[in-house]
Amino acid sequence: MPIHVAITRRVRPGREAEFQQALRDFFQASFDHGGVLGATMIVPSPGSDSREFGILRTFADERERDAFYASPLFKSWETRCTPLTESNSWTYQPLHGLEAWFRSPHPPPPKWKMAVATFLGVLPVAMFLSVTLGPWIKDWPFLVRNAVFNAAVVTILSWLVMPVVTRLLRGWLQPRPQSPSPLSTANS
């Protein structure tokens, strides 16, 4: 079962471009480690004053994850990025199941919200593929037909639909904490 890990790091002011390039280099090198299945860089949105970068990494299993984080390659990365990032500003969070689609520097939304958002992504994809791919594979053996269909659903969801759904529903999935109203602080 693949393992997903989300890490955030806050970069020192003025070092953002250098960190981003160092992270790109590290990503390329990290694919030489056999158990790394994928890596995604999450950068602050343009125009924001955030200096928090996210890294989502997928491993083949727990053993590969642990081997990666104990490797000389990772230790070298830690040495390289330490002067670029604020000390004690990083977080490490293992993601389980659907949480990997809901990447954010904040804790994942409740599972029921993830289920609703996933349903909103799956329904149109499954309907679209039933009409477009379905007729082409309808005569294939049951197992092969379902494997191809489900692989198409997962691929389209992972790289096209769920990033859009989670962006569109961001305010609902991750509501911002409300600041106290001026009246409530005035009465304190």
- Output 169-175 pairs: Cβ under 8 A, ≥24 positions apart: 169/117, 169/120, 172/113, 173/102, 173/109, 173/113, 173/114, 173/117, 174/104, 174/106, 174/109
* Same domain, residue pair 81 and 155: no
Question: Where is 75: in which H helix or E strand?
Answer: helix 72-81
Distance CA 28, CA 82 (A): 19
CB atoms within 10 A of CB 53: 23
* Same domain, residue pair 90 and 164: no
Determine the pLDDT at residue 99.
Answer: 53
Distance CA 11, CA 172 (A): 28
SS3 of 133, please?
coil
Per-residue pLDDT of the chain in tens (188 residues, 90 and over written 9): 678 888 889 999 999 999 999 998 998 888 888 888 888 888 887 777 888 888 888 888 889 999 999 999 999 999 999 999 998 877 877 765 555 555 554 556 777 887 888 888 888 888 898 899 889 999 998 888 878 887 888 778 876 787 778 778 877 877 655 444 344 344 44
* Same domain, residue pair 81 and 125: no
CB atoms within 10 A of CB 186: 8
* Same domain, residue pair 78 and 115: no
Question: Where is 68: in which H helix or E strand?
Answer: helix 62-70
Number of folded domains that form the chain: 2
Distance CA 148, CA 132 (A): 13
**Domain of residue 41, CATH code:** 3.30.70.100
Cβ-based burial of 44 (10 A; exposed 0-12, middle 13-18, buried ≥19): middle
Determine the pLDDT at residue 71.
Answer: 93
Domain that holds residue 28: 3-95
> Going by C-beta distance under 8 Å and a sequence separation of 6 or more, which residues neighbour residue 10?
51, 52, 53, 85, 86, 89, 90
Residue 40 lies in a domain: yes
